[in-house]
Amino acid sequence: MSRDGFVGIRLPFIGLPKLPDISTFHYRALFSRLTDLDWHMHPHVDGEDLPKILPTLEASGVKIVVDHLGRPDPQSGINSEGFKTLLRSIAKDRTWVKLSGGYRLGPQGKENARELLRVAGPDRLVWASDCPFVGREGQFPYKTTVDWLVDAIPDAAARAKIFGATARDLYFDGE
């Protein structure tokens, strides 16, 4: 299907005391329509909530783009259940991860990025600056987001894909 640009819908569930039930008829109808349009669903949740929503999103057939390296639990990082669920989801070929907001994860953010690259490869990872750094405006120059990725992903060929080719393929069908 040809598109004029990338289109998706965000599920802004981060910080909610309880996740909504996305298995309802209305959510399933939404996901079905997004699948038909070849749009993506962009869940924004804490990493530990990924196991609660990814199975439903995967079953719907919709493309999934997860923000902020999956926001793994800072204490358990790559060993957290949310991060492991994200890695399994990537293997099903409908999930991509934005390498964005590494500063939100602290020093282990780079470890998360490297593990994502090791398991998923650069074809499932896209870079995003996280600008305008909501909640932390003025604390991060834009350049630091690029520098973070260069440091987190030392392989230049992988970085080149993450910086451009993967996003082009995902959002613009490689055109």
Rounded average pLDDT over 144-157:
90
State residue 56's pLDDT score: 97
Strand 95-99 relative to strand 63-66: parallel, antiparallel, unpaired?
A: parallel
Residue 3 lies in a domain: no
State residue 2's pLDDT score: 39
Residue 86 lies in a domain: yes
Contact indicator for 93, 62 with CB cutoff of 8 Å = no
Contact indicator for 16, 52 with CB cutoff of 8 Å = no
Q: What is the CATH number of the domain that holds 156?
A: 3.20.20.140
Indicate the range of 60-64, 80-84, 97-101, 122-126 predicted with least confidence: 97-101
State residue 165's pLDDT score: 92
Closest alpha carbon to 94 in 55, 141, 138 = 55
**What is the Cα–Cα distance from 119 to 69, expressed in whole angstroms?**
13
pTM to 2 decimal places: 0.89
Both tokens assigned to 139: 């604390």
Residue-number span of the structural domain to which 92 is assigned: 8-172
**What is the Cα–Cα distance from 121 to 53, expressed in whole angstroms?**
23
Q: Which amino acid is at 1?
A: M
Residue 43 lies in a domain: yes
Residue 42: beta bridge partners?
Answer: 10
Strand 125-127 relative to strand 63-66: parallel, antiparallel, unpaired?
A: unpaired
Residue 1 lies in a domain: no
Number of domains into which the chain is organized: 1
**pLDDT for 76 beyond 80:** yes
β-sheet with 63-66: strand ranges across: 8-12, 40-44, 63-66, 95-99, 125-127
pLDDT, tens digit, for every residue of 8-51? Answer: 899 999 989 999 999 999 999 999 999 999 999 999 999 999 99
Residue 146 pLDDT level (bands cut at 50, 70, 90): confident
Provide the 3-class DSSP secondary structure of residue 34: helix
Contact indicator for 57, 41 with CB cutoff of 8 Å = yes
Residue 100 lies in a domain: yes
Q: Which amino acid is at 70?
A: G
Residue 2 lies in a domain: no
Both tokens assigned to 1: 């299907």
Residue 13 lies in a domain: yes
Residue 15 lies in a domain: yes
Rounded average pLDDT over 151-173:
91
**pLDDT for 98 beyond 80:** yes
pLDDT, tens digit, for every residue of 47-74? Answer: 999 999 999 999 999 999 999 999 998 8
